[in-house]
Every structure is written in C-alpha cells, then in structure tokens.
Amino acid sequence: RKEVEQDPGPFNVPEGATVAFNCTYSNSASQSFFWYRQDCRKEPKLLMSVYSSGNEDGRFTAQLNRASQYISLLIRDSKLSDSATYLCVVFMDSNYQLIWGAGTKLIIKP
C-alpha cells in the first residue's frame, strides 16, 4: 500500500462547478499536510497547507480528518485556470521528509 494515495482522475468538471477530491495517508504519526498544484510540464507549487481545524483560501477549502487519515480539497466556482494536477503531500516528522501522492488530474471545461 502506498503511503499517500490519491485518485488519479482525471476529473472532468464544467466551469463554475464545485469539485472535491480526497487523499489518504497510511502513517498515523504524520504531522503536517499540504496540497501542491502542478501545471502540465511544470514544477509543483504550494497551494495551501492543511490545518487540523480546516482552512480556507478564497475558493479553496482544505480539511483534515486524522481519525480516518484523509485530507480533502474542495474547489468552489471552478475556473478554467484551475485545470492542473493536485498533489497531496505529507510531512513525516520521523525523518523530516515529504511523502508525495501521485496526484489527481483536474480538467475544467468551458
């Protein structure tokens, strides 16, 4: 079992819709969680950190469920520019390294 798992998609969503995807992690001792965004043939960039109480940044909402060991990302009022691959990342405080999911591809259609 992979340490961090994501549905690879693609998620095909009409512009203006709300889309959500989850990520599960296997190590219950994981300390910190993040969502990165990666555009086609580009480098990953931090989208947002995920806090225990949940957090929002504009149209993006991240949630953490430690009991079930999953992280979610919700995108409201989706834009064409949201088309990208979203990478779930877990920080392992046991070795100070990041464990990356393989990513979920999102395609927003006009």
Q: Site residues (CB under 8 A) for another protein? A: 2, 4, 8, 31-32, 34, 41-46, 87, 91, 93, 96-103
**Nearest distance in Å: CB 32, another protein:** 5
Smallest separation (angstroms) from another protein to the CB of 46: 5
Q: Which is nearer to another protein, 80 or 98 (CB)?
A: 98
The pairs formed by 91-94 with CB atoms below 8 angstroms and a separation of 24 or more are 91/30, 91/31, 91/32, 91/33, 91/34, 92/27, 92/29, 92/30, 92/31, 93/29, 93/30, 93/31, 93/32, 94/29
Nearer to another protein, 35 or 78 (CB): 35
* Residue among 12 and 97 whose Cβ is closer to another protein: 97
How far apart are CB 17 and another protein at their closest, in Å? Answer: 27
Residues 6+ apart with CB under 8 A from 43: none
